[in-house]
Structure 1
Amino acid sequence: MELRHLRCFLAVAEELHFARAAERLHIEQSPLSRAIKELEEDLGVKLFVRTTRSTRLTRAGSLFLQHVPRIFTALQQSRDSVTAAANGFHSQLRVALSDGVPPSRLSSLLALCRREEPEIEIRLSEVPLSQQIKGLHDDEYDVGFAQSSDVGDGIIAEAIWDDPLVVAVPARHPLLTHKRIPLDEVLRYPLVLGDCHVCEGYSRQVERVLRRVDREPLIAERVASVDLMMALVAAGFALGLAGITQISSRREPDVVARPLAGRTPMLTTYLLRLGTEPSNTLARFVERINTVEASSPRRPDEHLGRHDSEERES
């Protein structure tokens, strides 16, 4: 079995079409078919059922597909480790990020790591929560950050940061007559929220807040980033819900952040890692999370942008 066999298998398994897979690999269809046949002979099983109309994985092929991507991940990590060593790094820490970690806190942490252990290379990967959990189990990542503690068995989820959840409001919106906006007033308007798959942990926490009011929210759009959320809010497309530090870091002049009336809900960020004994490198990284002095978030009742000064003057 050679790597070319695995690359051919992965392309056909993902495309489920030999012609498209061959085009993707920039080879002719006949050597692709030959590579798949050689792989099947080596494994002693059929990986695909191929007819004139369709191509599908056999049960053995589906099982094999679960393992092949990990082989390429391990190979890439080996290459990265060699490159890191050549560049003077002594070790590597693989960190997964989900749900949009508060940027000021992350930058403070990374700056502290760089200052105290510059020989440790930190590799960051932005992935959905489900992929982060799988990656921790499969040893693709050493540690992760997400906004969910619902991570299943074998993973420790430690609450590390709280960020006040506030309403992102377009400038000159009628809701700005409220210094603290009642949730039922928020739900009278369209909302732009995080994508349920890309921002899974964030979505769960926000949905718990929205369920406090017996009114179905009008979801105008779901987005994969706070940047797009702020762009839509600034355009007057909808209201947004996000952490105060996430909004303030964008400094969008046409967006005003207002707290919700009543007790301020929090967006909690969790540190995720396996329940096994951590390496010395990971243990020191966790210690820094507990000691780093995060940038102070804006107060929930503090406004953002040039329109706030205009309001105070009027």
Structure 2
Amino acid sequence: MELRHLRYFIAVAEELHFSRAAERLNIEQSPLSRTIKQLETELEATLLERTSRGTRLTWAGEVFLEDARRTLLCIDQAKANVKAAATGFRGTLRIALSDGIARSRLTPLLALCREEEPDVEIRLFEIPLAQHQRGLRHDLYDAGFAFSNDVDDGLIAEVAWKEPLVIAIPKRHPLLAHKHVPLDEVVKHPLVLCHPEFCEGCSRQLESLLASIDSPITVAERVSTHDLMLTLVAAGYGIGFSSAARIESSHHTDIIIRPLAGHSHVMTTYLLRPDTEPSDQLNNFMQRVARIGL
């Protein structure tokens, strides 16, 4: 089995279409089909079912897809580690990011790491929360940041920092009559919320907040990124939730920030890591996270 076999299989598994996968790989379809057949013969398992209605993964194919992705990631990380060592780095921390973590805290954290431990390379990986947790369990990442503390067995979620939750309102909106907007007034208007598939932890925190109001809500749109949420709010689609720092860093002049009324509402960012004794490098990183989070 060669690495190209894994790359070919991943392309077909993601496209679920041999012609599109061949185009993506810049090869002809017939050698791609032969390679997949050879792979299935070697593994003694059917990975893909081909029918008149299309192509789909078998259960064996789904399992192999996850392992194939992890194998290629390990190879890429091994190459990066050698390159980092050759350029003078003495260690590497692999940090996963999920849920669109705010750059307002991440930027000073990375700057502090470069200042205090310049010979440790920090590599960042933006991935969905489920992949994030699998990677921590399989030693693909050393730690990560997410908005969720609902973690798998063998992992720890610790509070990294908290930021006040505010609402994003388009200009000339009736809610601007409030200096501090009651949540029960917010939910009378259409909302632009993060999509749970792309921002799982953020979605969970907002759902918990909205569940505290005994009122039906209208969701105008569910979005995959913070920037798209702000764009739709600015266009008048609805009201959004965020932190003041994230909105201000986006420079949307057509959006007004208002705090929520009542007791303080916050969005919590968690540091996720394996439930094992951290390395010296990771322990130093965690201490810097604590300083940034103050």
If the length of structure 1 is used for normalisation, what is the TM-score?
Answer: 0.86
Cross-structure match for 2:204: 204
CA shift for structure 1 position 292: 3.0
Per-residue CA deviations over 1:245-286 (Å, capped at 9, x if unaligned) read 222322322222111121121111110000011121111101
What is the deviation of 1:195? Answer: 1.5
Gaps spanning 5+ residues in structure 1: where? 295-314
Q: 1:182 to 1:138 in 2, by over 3 A?
A: same
Read off the aligned partner of 1:25 and give its amino acid letter: L
Q: Alignment partner of 2:89: what SS?
A: coil
Which range moves more in the overlay, 84-93 or 55-64?
55-64
Query: What is the CA–CA distance in structure 1 between the aligned matches of 2:53 and 2:230, rounded to whole Å?
Result: 46
Counterpart AA for 1:94: R
Shift of 1:10: 2.4
- Structure-1 separation of matches of 2:58 and 2:234: 50
1:15–1:168 Cα change, 3 Å = closer
**What SS does structure 1 have at the residue aligned with 2:139?**
coil
Does the 8 Å contact 2:161/2:293 carry over to 1?
no
- Pair 1:180-2:180 in alignment: yes
In structure 2, distance between residues paired with 1:32 and 1:210: 49
Q: Distance in 2 between matches of 1:12 and 1:253?
A: 44
Counterpart amino acid of 1:225?
Answer: T
In structure 2, C-alpha distance between the alignment counterparts of 1:167 and 1:52, rounded to whole Å? 49
Q: Which runs of 5+ in 2 are unaligned?
A: none
In 2, the alpha carbon distance for the partners of 1:3 and 1:154 equals 30
Once the two structures are TM-superposed, the CA of residue 149 in structure 1 deviates from its matched residue by 0.6
Identity of matched residues, %: 55
Q: Assess, with a 3 A threshold, how the Cα gap between structure 1 residues 160 and 14 changes in structure 2: closer, same or farther.
A: closer
> CA 1:190–1:125 in 2, change beyond 3 Å: closer, same or farther?
same
CA distance in 2, matches of 1:91, 1:178: 51
- Tell me which moved more, 42-51 or 228-237: 42-51
Partner of 2:8: 8
2:188 partner SS? coil
Q: What residue in structure 2 maps to residue 73 of structure 1?
A: 73
* Secondary structure of 1:288's aligned partner: helix
Q: Which has the larger radius of gyration?
A: 1
Counterparts of 1:50 and 1:174 in 2: how far apart (Å)? 55
Other-structure match for 1:47: 47
**Per-residue CA shift, 1:159-182, capped at 9, x if unaligned?**
121111111112232211111111
Q: Which residue of 2 aligns with 1:307?
A: none
Q: What's the CA shift for 1:216? A: 1.4
In 2 relative to 1, CA 57–194 (structure 1 residues): closer, same or farther, beyond 3 Å?
closer
Instruction: State the partner residue of 1:228.
Output: 228
> Partner of 2:156 in structure 1?
156
2:160–2:293 contact (8 Å) kept in structure 1: no
2:258 is aligned to 258
The whole-number CA distance in structure 2 between the counterparts of 1:234 and 1:209 is: 23
- 3-state SS, counterpart of residue 240 of structure 2: strand
Pick closer, same or farther for the CA change 1:251–1:35 going to 2, 3 Å. closer
Distance 1:138 1:103 in 2: 27
Bigger CA drift: 44-53 or 63-72? 44-53
Contact 1:112 1:292 in 2 (8 A): no
Aligned to 1:147: 147
Aligned counterparts of 2:219 and 2:132: Cα–Cα separation in 1 = 26
1:93-104 aligned at under 5 Å gives the runs: 93-104=93-104
Residue 32 of structure 2 is aligned to residue 32 of structure 1: yes
- On the 8 A contact 1:108/1:293 being kept in 2, the answer is no
Give the TM-score normalised by the residue count of structure 2.
0.92
* 23-32 or 63-72: bigger deviation: 23-32
Count how many residue pairs are aligned between Structure 1 and Structure 2.
Answer: 294
CA separation of 1:43 and 1:108: change in aligned 2, threshold 3 A: same
Within 2, Cα distance between the matches of 1:56 and 1:259? Answer: 48
- Helix, strand or coil for the counterpart of 1:287? helix
- Residue 286 of structure 2 is matched in structure 1 by 286
